[in-house]
Structure 1
Amino acid sequence: MAFIDCHFHSESLGVAASMHVILPQVAKSQIGLTSRAYGGKHPTLLLLHGLSDDHTIWMRRTSIERYASQLGIAVIMPAVNRSFYADMVSGPKYWEFISEELPVLARSFFPLAEERELNYVAGLSMGGYGAVKLALSHPNRYAAAASLSGAVDIVERAAAFPADSQLIFGELSTIKNSPNDLFYLADQLVASKQDRPQLYQCCGTEDFLYADNIRFRDYCRAQGLQITYEEESATHDWGYWDRKIQSVLDWLPLPSRS
């Protein structure tokens, strides 16, 4: 794999932005690493960070490069600060950045596939929320989305982080039944009759977000959305996420598995 620490200007944010990128490379003489690559442009996983982290965290806390190398997929890991992947009321337009600007820029920099069936998104905690938000908002762009210990009930989470939430969303009463509410987005997707992305959700049973995850899982199933759900005894920690990102990669609908 090639690893790139990429810094660039964002028009959406009005400042310099950062992302870590890993790209497939077949290297026969590289010791201890199995690698593959598809011909042409690479299938791509957009991998999102949580509330207290940045674009470096997946490379620092997991072996994502080694895991992705075996599959021949590119992984894009951007930084969005404490934005909850939203256009902030009192801050930059991170939703515009992550949903519109970043995919176009990344494909202009690197040989990344544009086809829906070759694009996936995943994240942990705040990033799990962001991943599902992207896939439900743009089901024509992402074939699959995965949430690891995701903050999937944003109405509950906003109340738990009032200072951050007011800067991001403004009045908390406006969040429910808005485009920032995953339950609302699930309703909209079902009503739209568009192709539905495959959904994966996991959470530890001792995680403080466990009840939120059960509510969202049950709501999706009640709406007729197919969602792969896994749980085990675990808390909100990187040992769990390092294991479960491997489960996510095993689950992704890659071309070689079709």
Structure 2
Amino acid sequence: MAFLQASIYSNVLEMEVSVNVILPQKTEKKIGTATKGNLTDVPVMYLLHGMGGNHSVWERRTSIERYVADLGLAVIMPSTDLGWYTDTCYEMNYWTFLSEELPNICQELFPQLTTKREKTFAVGLSMGGYGALKLGLAKPDNFGAVASLSGAVNLADRVEDLLAIRGKKFWEGIFGPFEQIKGSSNDPMFLLEQLVKSGKTAPNIFLCCGEEDLLLYGNKKMAAALTANTIDHTFETGPGNHDWIFWDAWIQRVLEWLPLEK
């Protein structure tokens, strides 16, 4: 594998953005493991961080590079600050950057990456789980599968979960008044409704959450909504809380679940 640390300029955000990238590279080692490499049509996973994290956190807190070494999978890990993968009310358009600009930049810099929907994935934890699910529901033509680990996927009905983390002014700077979240483009439940109405094919969806996690209720409700709308999905829970012990274990489960040639 090749591990790259890049600084790219975002015209959308009007700032430099840090991105870590894992690329398949064919290697033959006398000591250690060999890895698969492919120069064309490489599957790609956008791996999103949570609150308090950045482009480096998945690499530092898990063994993600080792986990994907034999999968022939590229991993894009952008830093998106505390923007919640949203075009914020303070005019920082993190959603537009993530969903439109970043894939174009990655295609420009790494032309070996696939352009096929069925080989493009989004995965994230907590805030990033929200972002990954949002990508799948709002951009179903672009993603074949998305996975949310302990995601904040039921914002509109669980405002108390948000207020337990940060104050009201913080959240309203991102989403606007709380009462405007429900039924907006920042509400995953609303995005699900719109996807169903559109008749478009939904990506495969994976939800998981620790059984001691504050966000378990919201994940159960999202899973129930996916079931009610006959959206193909997997929902799994297990022992654990909202922490890296859980996420390091479950990212391995997600990689097993992804539709990759193994």
TM-score class normalised by the smaller sequence: over 0.9
Q: Which residue of 1 aligns with 2:6?
A: 6
Distance 1:94 1:158 in 2: 19
Tell me how far 1:39 sits from its aligned partner: 4.8
Which runs of 5 or more residues in structure 1 are unaligned?
none
Q: Is contact 1:91-1:167 (8 Å) kept?
A: no
SS in structure 1 of the partner of residue 20 of structure 2: strand
TM-score, normalised to structure 2, is 0.94
Q: Which residue of 2 aligns with 1:196?
A: 202
Tell me how far 1:91 sits from its aligned partner: 4.0
Q: Is contact 2:26-2:35 (8 Å) kept?
A: yes
Q: Which residue of 2 aligns with 1:62?
A: 62
SS in structure 1 of the partner of residue 29 of structure 2: coil
**Residues paired across the two proteins, number:** 256
Distance 1:249 1:168 in 2: 31
Tell me how far 1:37 sits from its aligned partner: 2.6
Which runs of 5 or more residues in structure 2 are unaligned?
none
Distance 1:244 1:69 in 2: 17
Q: Which residue of 2 aligns with 1:181?
A: 187
Distance 1:135 1:141 in 2: 8
Q: Which residue of 1 aligns with 2:228?
A: 222
Q: Which residue of 2 aligns with 1:208?
A: 214
Q: Which runs of 4+ in 1 moved over 6 A?
A: none
1:41-79 C-alpha deviation (Å, 9 max, x unpaired): 310000000011111000000010011111010000001
Q: Which residue of 1 aligns with 2:122?
A: 121
Q: What's the RMSD between the two structures over aligned residues?
A: 1.3
Q: Is contact 2:26-2:38 (8 Å) kept?
A: no
Tell me how far 1:163 sits from its aligned partner: 2.7
1:14-62 C-alpha deviation (Å, 9 max, x unpaired): 1111110000011012632341134513100000000111110000000
Moved more, 130-139 or 83-92: 83-92
1:206-244 C-alpha deviation (Å, 9 max, x unpaired): 011111111111111111112101111100111111110
Q: Is contact 1:220-1:227 (8 Å) kept?
A: yes
- Map residues 131-210 of structure 1 onto 2, 5 A cutoff: 131-155=132-156, 156=158, 157-160=161-164, 161=166, 162-210=168-216
Tell me how far 1:170 sits from its aligned partner: 1.4
SS in structure 2 of the partner of residue 51 of structure 1: coil
1:156-195 C-alpha deviation (Å, 9 max, x unpaired): 2445442321110111111101111000111111111111
Distance 1:171 1:238 in 2: 31
Distance 2:30 2:180 in 1: 53
Q: Which residue of 2 aligns with 1:16?
A: 16
Q: Residues 29 and 68 (structure 1 numbering): CA distance in 2 closer, same or farther, change over 3 Å?
A: same
Q: Is contact 1:166-1:172 (8 Å) kept?
A: yes
